[in-house]
Structure 1
Amino acid sequence: MDRTSCILVVDDDLTNRMVVRLLMSRRGFSVHEAASGMDAIDKISSTRFSAVFMDLSMPGLDGFETTKLIRSQCGSNGDVPIIALTAHTTDKNFARCSEVGMVGFISKPFDPEQACTTLSLLSNHGTMM
């Protein structure tokens, strides 16, 4: 994956978004933020991202519903690889992520090495743009 890739971080918690932005920016990624599911849909509708890190537990639209809407409403940008970012690492969540079209899973607290490894694996398997 090209290290100048543009990543969207979707999380309702400002601190979580800042941590991901800081750690991934240090690794050469361009990082954008969305504070809600609707904000993410708006951004993805107008901007081509290389990947999305999606929090699963957000008020309003959670990460599952947001992913479904991105897949159905964002046209050609709706095929962006979406990677779950959550502290709730259960088998049930793994299965739900796959069902809605997520392609990866990163546990919180955020580990930039795990994120880079996941992005690299997706890139090597042709899942990323």
Structure 2
Amino acid sequence: MTRKKILIAEDEMVLRFLLTETLEDEGFDIDEAEDGRIAMDSLRYGEYDLIILDYMMPEATGIEVCRWLRGEGGANADKPVILLTAKAEGKDREAAMQAGVSMFVSKPFSPVELTEIVRKLTESRPS
């Protein structure tokens, strides 16, 4: 069985490290991006089973990256996207859903909770 590959785009280094360590321990392969532009480059040239985007990142927000991804039509255009955010207002959720986000996870969250969501979203899809 091939390992599922995940892109984590998060500008907070400590949180990105925690997510990477947690998901690698669960058997996932991880690529990291520290801002929206790097995330877009990674999505343009790599192929992923799941994408985790932070809402508030330099260069491009998670919503902007997701909107670009869904419209770009590349290999990752239909892959599940988890948006991590401290902005949990209704209008933010609405904007995220309109951009094509699959799941909205509010900060702070538990790594165990996120791992369960990642498993559900990757297991329901063939590699």
Q: Which range, TM-score by smaller chain?
A: 0.7 to 0.9
Instruction: Tell me, yes or no, if the aligned pair for 1:41 and 1:74 is still in contact at 8 Å.
Output: no
> 1:24 offset after TM fit, Å?
1.1
Instruction: Tell me, yes or no, if the aligned pair for 1:44 and 1:74 is still in contact at 8 Å.
Output: no
Whole-angstrom CA distance in 2 between matches of 1:90 and 1:74 = 29
> 1:64 offset after TM fit, Å?
1.0
Equivalences for residues 46-85 of structure 1 within 5 A: 46-73=45-72, 75-85=74-84
Change (3 A) 1:55 1:37: same
- Structure 1 length normalisation: TM-score? 0.85
Query: Where does structure 1 differ by over 4 angstroms across 4 or more consecutive aligned residues?
Result: 123-126
Instruction: Flag structure 2 segments of 5+ consecutive residues without an equivalent.
Output: none
Instruction: Tell me, yes or no, if the aligned pair for 1:3 and 1:29 is still in contact at 8 Å.
Output: no
**What one-letter code is carried by the residue in structure 2 that aligns with 1:45?**
R
1:16 maps to: 15
Q: Percent identity?
A: 27
Instruction: Tell me, yes or no, if the aligned pair for 2:49 and 2:122 is still in contact at 8 Å.
Output: no
> How many aligned positions are there?
127
| 2:40 is the alignment partner of 1:38 | no
Whole-angstrom CA distance in 1 between matches of 2:74 and 2:12 = 27
> 1:3 offset after TM fit, Å?
8.2
- Structure 2 length normalisation: TM-score? 0.86
Q: Cα RMSD between the aligned structures?
A: 2.1
> 1:104 offset after TM fit, Å?
0.4
2:91 maps to: 92
Whole-angstrom CA distance in 2 between matches of 1:29 and 1:121 = 13
Instruction: Tell me, yes or no, if the aligned pair for 1:45 and 1:75 is still in contact at 8 Å.
Output: yes
1:6 maps to: 5
* Partner secondary structure for residue 109 of structure 1: coil
- Please identify, of 47-56 and 112-121, the stretch whose mean Cα deviation from structure 2 is larger: 112-121
